Amino acid sequence: MDPILDIRPVRPGLFTYSLSAPGQPPRPANELFDSLDQCMSDAARALLNYFERVQVYMQGLPIGTYASVRLLDEPLRIARELQERFRRVYGEL
């Protein structure tokens, strides 16, 4: 069972996230991040030692499942990919 990472924009250029197990209440991060890639990197550091994969959501909407190490090793690339997928499926972020 993969954890859920839900990334949410607070306002343009400011992001936060929460982590949860499927069916459990989310645990919000206590920080705000200046970019999507910084937000993902922080979440990946919290997950990496415990989970190989993570289900990524944006604004409560599913985007896809990713290897935790990719979120840490390729944050800029994954951030662009997440934004593109979100826009393609749901419209503007």
Beta carbons of 71 and 40 less than 8 angstroms apart:
yes
Domain locations in the chain? 4-90
d(CA 50, CA 61): 23
pLDDT tens digit sequence for 17-58: 999 999 999 999 999 999 999 999 999 999 999 999 999 999
Quote the tokens at residue 59. Answer: 């604004």
Residue 80 has pLDDT above 80, yes or no: yes
pLDDT of the residue at 51: 95
Beta carbons of 21 and 28 less than 8 angstroms apart:
no
Whole-model pTM?
Answer: 0.91
Q: Which amino acid is at 84?
A: E
Quote the tokens at residue 47. Answer: 């997950």
